[in-house]
Amino acid sequence: MENGMVKEGRTTISRSTIIDGNIKTKEHLTINGTIKGTVEIKDFNLFLGPNGKLEGEVHAKDVRISGHMIGDIYAKGKVEITHEADFSGSIKSKGITVEKGAYFDAFVDLGQKPTETSALKETSIEKPATKSA
């Protein structure tokens, strides 16, 4: 509490911590340790630090990956993959940035529908009309 105002909470999982199971919290989360499981913090942000390792799913508002992750990210906002990251999996979000130098092997769904001009249009081939005598 500062000047009578409550600040948003933040949980940090230290480098020496290993969790084999799911995490659900209602505050921002920083992971510097190792997690195998689902991380659910739907309205809060996740930061996977450079020493962090995560194998599983992430459900969060915004996600920043600087460590090693194998799995799926479901973000309400944006996902950032930093130059230190090693990411393999899938991402569903509204936006994504990938810094030069990152290892990035992913399927990305930005939830946008193709416009009519970018979608493939159905075409048909008609035979030319023949003249009758």
Task: From first to last of the 133 residues of the chain, give the pLDDT tens digit.
Answer: 455 544 568 899 999 999 999 999 999 999 999 999 999 998 999 999 999 999 999 999 999 999 999 999 999 999 999 999 999 999 999 999 999 999 999 999 998 776 655 554 444 444 445 555 5
**Distance from C-alpha of 40 to C-alpha of 54, rounded to nearest angstrom:** 13
The closest of 95, 63, 26 to 54, measured between CA atoms, is 63
pLDDT for position 132: 52
**Distance from C-alpha of 114 to C-alpha of 16, rounded to nearest angstrom:** 45
pLDDT for position 111: 86
pLDDT for position 125: 47
Contact indicator for 16, 31 with CB cutoff of 8 Å: no
Instruction: Write down the pTM of the prediction.
Output: 0.79
Task: Reduce the DSSP state of residue 102 to 3 states and report it.
Answer: coil
Count of Cβ atoms closer than 10 Å to residue 50 Cβ: 13
Contact indicator for 84, 68 with CB cutoff of 8 Å: no
